[in-house]
């Protein structure tokens, strides 16, 4: 912000100001005993204005020029002009030194501000890194808790199976239907073996599944073993007129069911030959003699070769 050549105070847009035509220094109009109207009149008449110092120098220059033209200047006139030039040079050097000192001070102030801001920036970066690390740790803890919760929920389903593909009848006795399934695979089911048995909600009769909870886990395991030996089961085997596949699987909790669906997609896209469930675990094998891979999460699917 420019300063007044008289009072050395800041000149803002609110102040009326005037500039010297020679030294270009700005002055408050009030410091030069001028009003706003005086300045507007100068501008309107396209008149120039010099500060007192420049006006004095100009007068002396004119006097010297007149004396030269008249060829009547003396040695004193020459020395006076030289001395005035020296004084003007000293003032200019003094002004330059003052400006240089002010510039150095501003540079020092800016350097200090930049140093302080750099320290704060380093502090903020460190805080962001710490928060990022904490967030990562919390995410890992949440993921581990989700895995534990999923394992607990899946463990509670160890004695449960789900059967899909059996048409629903209006007067159906679900327990009798399950017993027929047992007869087909060669496993006799009694009322004492079943803790709970009911249809799962579905959009239509063909999609309604049946969930069965055995009293003893061993009965469920023996049932599943017989089912694996039988391999293919259809509605025709159970006395229906249709001949559609009946699917018997271990009951999965919702997260494990979703993972199983993703694993079935991965089996197709990555050329795996086998995928199956065992005690709630998702197992895959690419070929007959390859190593069995257990799928615990989506990361395991992404790592599949």
For the domain bounded by 157-251, which CATH number is listed?
Answer: 3.30.70.1820
In angstroms, the CA 39 to CA 150 distance is: 86
Helix axis angle for 217-230 and 174-185, nearest 10°, is: 50
The H or E element that residue 55 is part of is: helix 52-70
Four-residue CA torsion sign, 181, 183, 188, 189: positive
Helix/strand/coil for 204 = coil
Report which of 256, 166, 243 is spatially closest to residue 211, judged by C-alpha positions.
166
Q: What is the pLDDT along the chain (305 residues), one digit of tens a residue?
A: 788 888 888 888 888 888 888 888 889 988 988 888 888 888 888 888 888 888 877 766 665 555 555 555 566 666 776 777 777 788 788 778 877 888 888 888 899 999 999 999 999 999 999 999 999 999 999 988 988 888 888 888 899 999 998 888 888 899 999 999 999 999 999 999 999 999 887 665 445 789 999 999 999 999 999 998 887 888 888 888 889 999 998 888 888 889 999 999 999 989 999 998 888 889 999 998 899 999 988 888 988 88
Report which of 102, 234, 94 is spatially closest to residue 167, judged by C-alpha positions.
234
Report which of 65, 93, 88, 87 is spatially closest to residue 78, judged by C-alpha positions.
65
Q: Could you tell me which residues come within 8 angstroms of residue 88 by beta carbon, excluding any fewer than 6 positions away?
A: 57
Give per-residue pLDDT as tens, 167-222: 888 888 999 999 999 999 999 999 999 999 998 876 654 457 899 999 999 999 99
Residue 197: strand pairing partners: 212
- The residues spanned by each domain of the chain are 1-73, 74-155, 157-251, 252-305
Report which of 250, 273, 267 is spatially closest to residue 304, judged by C-alpha positions.
267
* CA-to-CA dists, residue 70 to 57, 64, 66, 67, 81, angstroms: 20, 10, 6, 5, 17
Residue 283: strand pairing partners: 276, 294
Query: Which pTM does this prediction carry?
Result: 0.52
Q: What is the DSSP letter of 246?
A: -
Same-fold call for 1-73 versus 157-251: no
Q: Could you tell me which residues come within 8 angstroms of residue 300 by beta carbon, excluding any fewer than 6 positions away?
A: 293, 294
For the domain bounded by 1-73, which CATH number is listed?
Answer: 3.30.40.10
Q: What is the dihedral of CA 293, 298, 303, 305, to 10 degrees?
A: 60
Residue 27: strand pairing partners: 18
């Amino acid at each position: 912000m420019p300063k007044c050549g008289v009072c050395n105070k800041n000149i803002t847009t609110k102040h009326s100001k005037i500039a010297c035509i020679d030294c270009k220094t700005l002055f408050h109009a009030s410091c030069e005993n001028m009003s706003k109207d005086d300045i507007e009149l100068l501008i309107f008449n396209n008149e120039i204005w010099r500060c007192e110092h420049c006006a004095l120098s100009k007068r002396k220059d004119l006097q010297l020029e007149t004396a030269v033209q008249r060829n009547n200047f003396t040695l004193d006139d020459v020395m006076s002009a030289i001395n005035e030039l020296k004084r003007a040079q000293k003032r200019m050097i003094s002004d330059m030194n003052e400006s240089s000192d002010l510039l150095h001070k501003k540079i020092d102030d800016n350097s200090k501000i930049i140093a302080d801001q750099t320290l704060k920036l380093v502090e903020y970066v460190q805080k962001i890194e710490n928060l990022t690390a904490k967030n990562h740790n919390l995410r890992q803890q949440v993921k581990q808790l989700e895995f534990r919760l999923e394992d607990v929920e899946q463990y509670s389903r160890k004695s449960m199976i789900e059967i899909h593909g059996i048409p629903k009848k209006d007067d159906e006795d679900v327990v009798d239907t399950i017993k027929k399934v047992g007869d087909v695979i060669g496993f006799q089911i009694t009322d004492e073996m079943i803790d709970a048995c009911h249809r799962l909600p579905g959009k239509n009769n063909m999609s309604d599944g049946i969930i069965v909870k055995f009293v003893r886990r061993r009965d469920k395991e023996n049932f599943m073993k017989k089912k694996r030996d039988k391999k293919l089961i259809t509605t025709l085997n159970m006395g229906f007129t249709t001949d559609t596949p009946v699917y018997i699987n271990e009951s999965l909790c919702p997260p494990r069911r979703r993972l199983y669906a993703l694993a079935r997609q991965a089996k197709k896209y990555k050329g795996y030959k086998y995928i199956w469930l065992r005690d709630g675990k998702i197992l895959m094998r690419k070929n007959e003699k390859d190593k069995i891979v257990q799928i615990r999460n989506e990361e395991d699917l992404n790592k599949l070769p």
